[in-house]
Amino acid sequence: MKKKIQKTGFLMAALLFLVGCGGGKGRLDIKVDDIPPANVTFHRYDADLFKVDRNHLQAGLEALKPAYRFFLDADLSDTVRLREMQSYLENPRNQGFQRAVDSLYGNTQPLEKELLLAIRHFIHYFPGARIPRVYTYISGGDYDAPVQMADSVLLIGLDNYLGEEFKAYAADGLPEYRIARMTRQHIVRDCMEEMYRISFPSRIPGNTLLDYMVEAGKKYLFLDAMMPAAADRLKIGYTPAQYDWIVKNESHVWAAIISNRMLYTTDGNLIRTFLADGPFTAEFSQDSPPRLGEWIGWQIVKQYYENQRSLTLPDVMAEKDSQKILTRSGYKPEK
């Protein structure tokens, strides 16, 4: 009986420890069943546009115009515009993109459900926010802007998400670390990152490495809140091996930053080393993931949010004092 009581006491202590530390996803592990469903439908401009009869292009575009004014709200009788559209539709590269998109995204309902869930989380934290209207299109290889948001319209270039094996990406000279993130699994994540960018325009209140890390950390806390069930490595864009590396070496990275007095550096080159994208972080081994400063900033901000229970997510987004966030986070990774 004594052993049973001791075991029960141990389990209770462990449970209280987990609750105190925000076990699992902690405060972000919420249910949004009570949030009214938003209208999240992928309006397939890409599919509808490529179905237009190119022998009667103007008439076809006029027919599409009511549904796609964001793209076609112009004088469609303008011969220059018509020639540009004809060239776009007849471009073999764009046609190749469209065939691949048709094959992979014939049914977008699963993606719509994923995005709807994320947006319901957004409404929970930011009630009254405008919900974007979602359009998909073929960007023609605009790899630097796979998702864009403007005027409450969310644009998804589906040709940016055709998978690691899509040969055009490597042929266009994209590095492997970027191609690894050009998958279906990254679409909703990128949509929410774009919503963060629009909702919280980047403003670095200082110019130290800590300032930049904390600002990056806020973005990832936002993604945590919008997609609490998503894998952390998906949110930050790490491979399984890179994720394992940072989990095992986080304390060593932090120790290196502190011991080398880099936390308050204003050296732009050093800051870029910790925040720039790439195959790895140059200050560490080639096995390390890139953007280690973002990872550290994420852990600091996440711990700050968990510890400061009186603060809301918007409160954290609005806090400009990175030193305050670090101090009150109590961040100290285990060795």
DSSP string computed for 260-296:
TT-TT---HHHHHHHHS-SSS-TTS-TTSPS-HHHHH
pLDDT value at position 5?
34
Residues 301, 307, 312, 318: is their CA dihedral positive or negative? negative
Report whether pLDDT(209) > 70.
yes
- Span 257-304, pLDDT tens digits: 999 999 999 999 999 999 999 999 988 989 999 999 999 999 999 999
Contacts of 281 (CB under 8 A, 6+ apart): 273, 274, 288, 289, 290, 291, 292
Amino acid 18: pLDDT? 35
Compute the average pLDDT of residues 159-167.
97
Contact 313, 125 (CB under 8 A): yes
Q: How confident is the model at residue 10 (pLDDT cuts 50, 70, 90)?
A: very low
Give the pLDDT score at 203.
Answer: 75
The pLDDT of residue 124 is: 93
Question: What does DSSP assign to residue 147?
Answer: E
Instruction: Determine the pLDDT at residue 66.
Output: 96
Taking only the tens place, the pLDDT of each residue in 310-334 is: 999 999 999 999 999 999 999 999 8
pLDDT band at 20 (very low <50, low <70, confident <90, very high): very low
pLDDT in the model for residue 2: 37
The pTM of the full predicted model, rounded to 2 decimals, is 0.89
**Which tokens in the block code for residue 140?**
């023609």
Distances (CA, A) of 259 to 83, 295, 297: 61, 18, 17
Residue 290: the pLDDT is 97
Tell me the pLDDT tens digit for each residue of 71-120.
998 889 999 999 999 999 999 999 999 999 999 999 999 999 999 999 99
pLDDT at 25: 56
Question: Taking Cα atoms as reference points, which of 318, 253, 315 lies closest to residue 283?
Answer: 253
* Stretch 134-156: mean pLDDT: 94
31-87, pLDDT tens digit by residue? 898 888 778 899 999 999 999 999 999 999 999 999 999 999 888 999 999 999 999
pLDDT in tens, 193-205: 999 999 998 777 7
Give the model's pLDDT for residue 14.
Answer: 37
